[in-house]
């Protein structure tokens, strides 16, 4: 492995080249919906970490993860504040190990778009160029051009002030081993009565059940409706002209109303609720969104978005998956990553969010909740029968 000075030069040079391909990332946010492509570039920072990597990862120091990032993650900014699209922090550990921390705005990048950029950057850096993407910036914007949503019913756009309230939250990392995932899938089949659910549906439904139980311990919360939002990638469901190289926030929410969930609820029942709502997100629906300019004002859209729930003080949850997006295959020239991480620590944030990420052992769930609720979850015996709380990274 070359010295860090050579690595630093290689990373910066290849980043500059990647930004010429993904040119909007070198611009600045003008507002929440537009980018000034002025070629100001990305922010690049280098930092020394006064610890060996193996000690940092056995077990992972989740409370210090954010120190490896170039900015405070998931931070809200004023609507018209000018911001860089991309910030990078390259961290060098005492042992010579390297961690690359990345923060990007959601103006144009969803997780799959971010993966396409990182594949391009890493391929240029390692000299192979096999993974260089030819980003398609036109398909999303031509099929779904910006629209004036003035007058759209508040519930359709999910305008709920309570969902924007940031509270003191803590993030925990849980690992679901492949054996546990198989068991959850089998439980959801109900002795073969129902088809075997995907890993995502089984794991997310199990987590959702136990998060709901943790958040409804107080009597005042038991009567509140529970709304669970699952982020769905439109590319696979819509097909052509979209592809893996289509850049943009090509996402649509599957919104699930979960009623009367308690510790005795069956995971399979939550799986079927989720399947029912995801099943509504068809190519026909997205063509309707594209071609019918009145769809956002329609009763059909209002029903999909559970209009009216915003006025009932719901408890909201958000699930998203970074599984099978190629992050584990990135190679900047010194091998594939030992481990991938989300944000960590305790900070002001929107509660009840879950990001699923794949590992060699199974699936990691990065769960962010209010401190009083996460403490209930991490002491839930039934939950911990399937989920390991922040184990050491095994391949160090």
Assess whether pLDDT exceeds 70 at residue 1.
no
Pick the closest to residue 149 from 231, 242, 236, 32 (CA basis): 32
Residue 165: its pLDDT value, please?
65
Nearest to 187 by CA among 276, 254, 272: 272
pLDDT band at residue 155 under the 50/70/90 scheme: low
Give yes or no for residue 162 having a pLDDT over 60. Answer: no
Confidence band, pLDDT 50/70/90 cuts, at residue 191: low
67 Cα distance to chain centroid: 19
> What per-residue confidence (pLDDT) applies to 148?
67
Is pLDDT of 115 > 50?
yes
In tens, the pLDDT along 197-242 reads 999 999 999 999 999 999 999 888 888 999 999 999 999 898 888 8
Q: Tell me how far apart the alpha carbons of residues 88 and 336 are, in angstroms, rounded to a whole number.
A: 18
Query: What is the residue-wise DSSP string for 194-263?
Result: SPPPPHHHHHHHHHHHHHHHHHT-SGGGTTS-EEEEEEEEHHHHH-TT--TTB-S--EEEEEEEE-S--T
Spatial contact of 117 and 18, defined as CB atoms under 8 Å apart:
yes
Q: Are 295 and 252 in contact (CB under 8 A)?
A: no
Does 374 score more than 50 pLDDT? yes
**Judging by DSSP bridges, how do beta strands 98-104 and 43-49 pair with one another?**
unpaired
- Among residues 342, 370, 2, the alpha carbon closest in space to that of 174 is found at 342
The region of weakest confidence among 21-25, 108-112, 127-131, 329-333 is: 127-131
Closest CA to 151 of 255, 298, 251: 298
3-state class (DSSP) for residue 286: helix
Q: Residue 63 above 70 pLDDT?
A: yes
Average pLDDT of the residues in 15-43: 92
Q: Residue 138: is its pLDDT beyond 50?
A: yes
Token code pair at residue 40? 């100001």
Element spanning 5, H or E: helix 4-21
Least confident of 11-25, 67-81, 83-97, 155-169: 155-169
Candidates 183, 157, 165, 206; CA nearest to 304 is 157
Could you report the per-residue pLDDT of 310-336, keeping only the tens digit for each? 778 899 999 999 999 999 999 999 999
For 44, the 3-state DSSP assignment is: strand
**What is the pLDDT averaged over residues 172-183?**
97
Residue-level pLDDT at 154: 57
Confidence at residue 160, expressed as pLDDT on a 0 to 100 scale? 44
Other residues' Cβ atoms within 10 Å of the Cβ of residue 278: 18
Contacts of 128 (CB under 8 A, 6+ apart): none
Q: For residue 375, is pLDDT > 70? A: yes
Name the DSSP class of 135: -
Encode burial over 100-124: b for 16+ CB neighbours within 10 A, e otherwise: bbbbbbebbbbbbbbbbbbbbbbbb
Judged against a pLDDT cut of 90, whether residue 121 lies above it is answered with yes
Which residues does 198 contact at the CB level (< 8 Å), separation at least 6? none
């Amino acid at each position: 492995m070359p010295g860090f000075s050579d690595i630093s030069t290689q990373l910066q040079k290849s980043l500059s080249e990647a930004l010429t391909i993904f040119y909007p990332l070198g611009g600045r946010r003008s507002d929440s919906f537009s980018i000034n492509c002025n070629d100001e570039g990305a922010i690049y920072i280098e930092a020394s970490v006064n610890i060996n990597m193996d000690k940092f990862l056995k077990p992972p120091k989740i409370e210090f993860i954010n120190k490896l990032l170039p900015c405070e993650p998931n931070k809200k900014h004023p609507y018209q504040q000018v911001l860089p699209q991309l910030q990078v922090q390259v961290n060098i550990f005492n042992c010579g190990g390297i961690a690359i921390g990345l923060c990007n705005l959601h103006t144009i990048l969803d997780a799959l778009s971010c993966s396409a950029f990182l594949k391009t950057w890493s391929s240029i850096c390692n000299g192979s160029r096999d993974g260089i993407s030819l980003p398609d910036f036109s398909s999303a914007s031509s099929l779904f051009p910006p629209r004036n949503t003035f007058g759209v019913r508040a519930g359709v756009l999910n305008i709920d002030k309570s969902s924007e309230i940031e509270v003191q939250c803590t993030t925990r990392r849980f690992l679901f081993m492949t054996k546990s995932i198989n068991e959850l899938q089998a439980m959801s089949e109900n002795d073969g009565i129902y088809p075997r659910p995907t890993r995502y549906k089984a794991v997310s439904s199990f987590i959702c059940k136990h998060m709901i139980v943790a958040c409804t311990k107080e009597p005042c919360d038991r009567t509140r409706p529970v709304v669970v939002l699952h982020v769905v990638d439109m590319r696979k469901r819509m097909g052509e002209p979209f592809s893996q190289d289509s850049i943009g926030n090509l996402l649509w929410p599957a919104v699930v109303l979960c009623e009367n969930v308690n510790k005795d609820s069956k995971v399979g029942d939550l799986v079927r609720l989720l399947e029912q709502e995801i099943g509504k997100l068809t190519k026909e629906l997205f063509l309707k969104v594209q071609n019918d300019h009145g769809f956002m004002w329609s009763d059909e859209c209002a029903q999909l978005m559970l209009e009216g729930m915003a006025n009932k003080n719901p408890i909201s949850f958000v699930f998203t998956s970074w599984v099978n997006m190629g992050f584990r295959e990135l190679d900047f020239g010194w091998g594939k990553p030992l481990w991938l991480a989300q944000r960590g620590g305790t900070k002001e944030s929107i509660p009840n969010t879950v990001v699923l990420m794949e590992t060699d052992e199974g699936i990691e769930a990065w769960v962010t909740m209010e401190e009083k609720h996460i403490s209930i979850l991490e002491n839930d015996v039934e939950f911990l029968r399937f989920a390991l709380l922040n184990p050491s990274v095994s391949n160090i």
